[in-house]
């Protein structure tokens, strides 16, 4: 049986931490930023850990 291929768009959007958790960046900061407040934009910066309920689905895309 051939090897499983990694989902290319998922590979660009998610990264795995040393402990095996999946990291992602927050959405809604790419455009129309002038209408958002400084506080909104500040809280959208940085990355967060993917929720446990989505973890298995994203792992399947990343073929971990």
Q: What digits encode the pLDDT tens for the residues 7-62?
A: 999 999 999 999 999 999 999 999 999 999 999 999 999 999 999 999 999 999 99
Q: How confident is the model at residue 64 (pLDDT cuts 50, 70, 90)?
A: confident
CATH number at residue 37: 4.10.410.60
The candidate with the shortest Cα–Cα distance to 26, out of 36, 18, 63, 62, is 36
Domain for residue 46, yes or no? yes
Confidence (pLDDT) at 33: 96
Domain for residue 2, yes or no? no
Domain for residue 1, yes or no? no
Confidence (pLDDT) at 1: 85
Domain enclosing residue 23, as ranges:
8-62
Domain for residue 50, yes or no? yes
Domain for residue 47, yes or no? yes
64 neighbors 9 (Cβ within 8 angstroms)? no
Beta bridge partners of 23: 15, 49
Q: What is the domain count for the chain?
A: 1
Confidence (pLDDT) at 14: 97
pTM of the model: 0.82
């Amino acid at each position: 049986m051939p090897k499983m291929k990694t989902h290319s768009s998922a590979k660009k959007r998610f990264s795995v931490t040393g402990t095996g958790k999946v990291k992602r960046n927050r959405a809604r900061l790419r455009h129309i930023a002038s209408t958002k407040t400084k506080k909104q934009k500040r809280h959208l910066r940085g990355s967060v850990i993917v929720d446990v309920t989505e973890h298995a689905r994203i792992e399947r895309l990343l073929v971990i």
